[in-house]
Chains A and B, each alone.
Chain A
Amino acid sequence: MIPVFETEFLRLLRSRKFKLLFLVTMFPAVIYLLSPNASGTGVESLRAGFDGLFADLLPNYWLGIIGQLIAVIIMTDLIAGEIDRGTIRLILARPVKMSEFMAGKFLAGLSALVVLFGIPYVVVWLYAPLPYDAGFDGVRALAGDFGVVMGSTVVVLAFLGALSMFLAVLVRRPLYATLATFGVLFLGQFILPQVPYIEHPERLTLGYQALVMLKASFENLNVVGIPWETALAFLLTSAGLLTFSWFILLRQEFPD
């Protein structure tokens, strides 16, 4: 698993796709650097400002449609690309278990996503205390909130990655797999909830569920749900999707 993880992670970091997507994830952080709009000074104001910023940007940008698309683009190519280009035959001809191969790929993709999303988060975390005049106390005070933001993001990204891999194994072509995954996400979050007898359709978006997880540390968030239950549900679903993907991959053939 380690060679697959290391090689794939470095390949992703060096890829042109990654650099381009990094500009997209950095965009809100750059805007924040240019106009932080501090609403006061001191640690309390800083926390309120930081929490407000992430409660706004997480569901609407980083884990909204744009962020989801980024995760899907990175994750579908990991296995569908190998199948499409035939290089999976090289892997099959090596003493590597399919489960190790999949786990290596999944963790490499997830790590690359953590870098993509983590850098702008860290930039905001480290910069935010400046306009609030809160210094290192501010950095320390935000550590807990930052951890929850990062954790919630990783949990949602893991789910997106597992879903992407599952559909990539089924569809076997990177472009079609990306479209299929994005289609499923769009349908699940925005079309199906429109069915009349579904109550609170707004709760069925990944962004909303990310906010539920933020409740573990953020105050004054007006969302319904229990953070650890939501996180557990995401993680169990991800594990289930990965198990199905592995099961399907084991039974597939690779003629080309």
Chain B
Amino acid sequence: MADYAIETLKLTKFFGKRSIVYNLDLRVPKGVVYGFLGPNGAGKTTTIKMLTGALKPTYGEIKIFGLEMPRERVEIMKKVGYMPEKPLAYEDMTVFEFLVYMGRLSGLGKEDAKVKARELMAYTGVGRLAFNKVKELSSGQRQRLSFASALIGDPELLILDEPTSNLDPIGRIEFIGKVLELAKSGKTVFLSSHIVSEIERTCNYVGIIKDGQMIEQGRVKDLTRFESNDYDVVVSDNTLLIEFLRDKVYVREVWEDEGIVRVHLDERFAEKFFTEVPAFIAENGLALKLFKPHTSPLERILMKRFNGGWER
């Protein structure tokens, strides 16, 4: 069991008669970036609140690094950093005071907490706000502070609930970069989001939750293997490429849309597409300007599973 950073077994949470999370079997291997994906109201935050001890499961088990939650919460939390969906902090404290306090609660000594707080303020971009009160921060700045506070105990597992929801586009890109850096350093990251592109760019594992139940879970690569059937291609002579593709056995349909050649592949013969097209381009001296799946494969899985009903 301890091979997983997080493992849940039939995790269920009822509020009254309504199940918010139902028989959820979550398996997050150590050292991965796990995207917990689902539309608003799917049960992501409720699951995370159970993982962090704020809610108790109606039934089911939670193990984090093989330790049982909530029974061994204190031991578990020595290894976990948590960033809530809504950034929480003490409004009357300064940014520096808040981080030092969180550091000390994570077990650091007073001086170590101060050093770590300074380091993390610089890392997350709130260094110049060190002596501003939390109540003076914008929502994006609070989100950065919340990220810093999740990191202050140098956790092995980071649980991030909708971490980029208040960030501007540049902040989001920076954040994704930081998550990837942390993953490289060996930390396990559990990241919930309803933004598909964010999960695709950041995560190597994904779990998709719908109405409180897990509907897909595994490596992103494995889940999307059979989903890349539509391709967008742009070459220096699109007409020539369309002529070439029109009668091929692996092409179901090909057409040009605003200067982009869209190819709908027959998945049974799709491999040929990836050998013949590059050869054709090289033989005819064409310049290749674009070659990518039309929509993201993960997005396509979601569209199938949610019948298009997904808030992005």
Contacts and interface: CB of A to CB of B under 8 A. Distances in A.
Contacts of B153: 94-95
Contacts of A14: 92
Nearest to B20: A255
A90 B149 contact: yes
Interface in B108-162: 149, 153
Contacts of B170: none
A94 B54 contact: no
A96 B89 CA distance: 17
Contacts of A86: 84, 86, 88
Given A11-B92, A87-B89, A89-B88, A95 B54 contact: no
Interface string B42-77: 000000010011111000000000000000011101
A19 interface: no
Contacts of B264: none
Contact of B54 (A3, A7, A92): A92
Contacts, number: 73
A103 interface: no
B52 A253 contact: no
Contacts of A4: 105
Nearest to B74: A95
Contacts of A96: 74, 77, 105
A186 interface: no
Interface string A71-84: 00000000000000
B53 A92 contact: yes
Given A92-B53, A97-B74, A3 B88 contact: no
A15 interface: yes
A104 B77 CA distance: 19
Given A253-B55, A255-B49, A94 B88 contact: no
B259 interface: no
Contact of B80 (A88, A91, A93, A97): A93
A81 to B, nearest CB: 10
Contacts of B104: 3, 7
B105 A11 contact: no
Nearest to A10: B97
A254 interface: yes
Nearest to B91: A85
A7 B56 CA distance: 28
Contacts of B55: 253-255
Contacts of B90: 11, 87
B92 A94 contact: no
A3 B101 contact: yes
Nearest to A89: B54
Interface string A1-17: 00110010001001100
B248 interface: no
Given A90-B89, A92-B77, 17 more contacts: A3-B105, A4-B105, A85-B88, A87-B89, A88-B54, A90-B82, A92-B52, A92-B53, A93-B52, A93-B53, A93-B80, A93-B81, A94-B77, A94-B102, A95-B75, A96-B105, A255-B54
Interface of B: 15, 49, 52-56, 73-75, 77-78, 80-82, 84, 86, 88-93, 97, 101-102, 104-107, 149, 153
Q: Which 9 residue pairs spanning A and B have beta carbons closest together?
A: A3-B104, A93-B82, A94-B105, A95-B77, A92-B53, A254-B54, A95-B78, A89-B54, A93-B52
26 contacts: A7-B101, A11-B93, A15-B92, A85-B88, A86-B84, A89-B49, A89-B52, A89-B82, A89-B84, A90-B88, A90-B149, A92-B53, A93-B53, A93-B54, A93-B77, A93-B81, A94-B106, A95-B75, A95-B153, A96-B74, A96-B105, A253-B54, A253-B55, A253-B56, A254-B49, A255-B15
